Structure 1
Amino acid sequence: MIRISPVRADNDSALDFIEHIYTESFPPDERRDFDEVVRLLRENDDFAIALLSDEEHPIGFISYWSWSDFTYMEHFAIDSRCRGAGYGAAAMTALLEQLGKPAVLEVEKPEDDLSRRRIAFYQRLGFVLSTRPYTQPPYSPDRHSLELYLMSYGAIDLDHVFDAVVTRIHSRVYGVE
């Protein structure tokens, strides 16, 4: 059974595990420095990290931004040793149910087998792909922006509110006005 536990900025053992998975799973252009992740966790009430566990064994994490009308899922990763066992689907489904509101996330364009499989994974969970052009701003001046797509879950018409959603993600998550 998947357990979802909130992570606090002073939980060093959980953060050490998460940092390892985070840096292993996401290339530099797709992540911020981990010191910045911990700072956000300490200082920003909108930002949260959930540690995913099977019994007492950590298996992954989800970082997200929770607002009144939707949640932005920033990073989601399962430990490479645990992938393919259904943990990812169970964890995301449980967190979406726990949060009880629409969600939005970024995905790579379906240009290779891995990116197509990721999109299909989220579609099986009920996410809908928007193919409107979307640019992820760089996390820092030494990183690059990325051309991605957004996916949405739940009672949100992303095509109708696309510009407002992008503006909020860009300003609150990436600090771009």
Structure 2
Amino acid sequence: MNEREFDKIFALMQASFPESERRTYSGQKGLLTDSHYRLITETDNNNLIIAFLAAWEFPLFRFVEHIAVDPIIRGSGIGGKMMTAYMEESKKPILLEVEHPDTELAQRRIGFYERLGFYLNPFEYVQPPLQKGQDDLPLKIMSYPQLLTGEEFVLYKENLYRNVYKIKD
């Protein structure tokens, strides 16, 4: 991936996620060297990046950290198509984080994933800070193709904390 492509992805990330749900520019760019991290992009007819899916792929499961579509073409179905393609190529469970269903936007986002086949798990979960000085962020875990058991949730959460969020204990 060249610098310009990464810059477009990071700009999409900034336009799509609050600061508490993304890393710094250098922190995000540093993930490109991690063998578990994968960026999938969608381009338009001019070969410009219009959407991306950022995921972590582990032996037991996959974790979609970010998916975003250029604000100009949101609602066109591109995000759903990207997610569906990612789900279809996987034989492993897929997890993602969502906000608590306290707002209309959060409820719509959860509904989007439920229509794709994801389940909202009942377990308490916080996303550790992605940048220095931030607080833990209370979120919920959604999973595909089924709800997680308590044991699976603990195992996957420990893996996320250790490998994605770099929490040692």
Fold-level similarity (TM above 0.5): yes
- The DSSP-based 3-state class of the residue aligned with 1:132 is coil
Displacement of 1:155: 6.0
Q: Deviations over 1:117-142 (max 9, x none)?
A: 00000000000100211011111331
Q: Deviations over 1:40-79 (max 9, x none)?
A: 112x100111112244342211111101221011111111
Aligned mates of 1:82, 1:108 — CA distance in 2 = 23
1:35-54 correspondence to structure 2 within 5 Å: 35-42=26-33, 44-54=34-44
Do 2:55 and 2:64's aligned partners in 1 also have CA atoms closer than 8 Å?
Answer: yes
Aligned mates of 2:85, 2:44 — CA distance in 1 = 13
Displacement of 1:144: 1.8
- The DSSP-based 3-state class of the residue aligned with 2:125 is strand
What residue number does 1:4 align with? none
Do 1:152 and 1:158's aligned partners in 2 also have CA atoms closer than 8 Å?
Answer: no
Q: CA RMSD in A?
A: 1.5
Aligned mates of 2:50, 2:157 — CA distance in 1 = 30
Structure 1: runs of 5 or more not aligned: 1-7
TM-score normalised per structure 1:
0.88
* Shift in alpha-carbon separation, 1:17–1:108, aligned structure 2, 3 A: same
For this pair of structures, how many residues does the alignment match? 167
Aligned: 1:83 with 2:74: yes
Aligned mates of 2:49, 2:40 — CA distance in 1 = 11
What residue number does 1:28 align with? 19
Post-superposition, which runs of at least 4 consecutive aligned residues in structure 1 deviate over 6 A?
A: none
> Counterpart of 1:122 in structure 2: which amino acid?
Y
Do 2:87 and 2:94's aligned partners in 1 also have CA atoms closer than 8 Å?
Answer: yes
> Counterpart of 2:50 in structure 1: which amino acid?
I
User: Could you tell me the percent identity over the aligned residues?
Assistant: 35
Q: Which has the higher strand share?
A: 1
TM-score normalised per structure 2:
0.92
Aligned mates of 2:15, 2:157 — CA distance in 1 = 27
Aligned mates of 1:41, 1:158 — CA distance in 2 = 31
Structure 2: runs of 5 or more not aligned: none
1:107-118 correspondence to structure 2 within 5 Å: 107-118=98-109
Aligned mates of 2:20, 2:6 — CA distance in 1 = 20
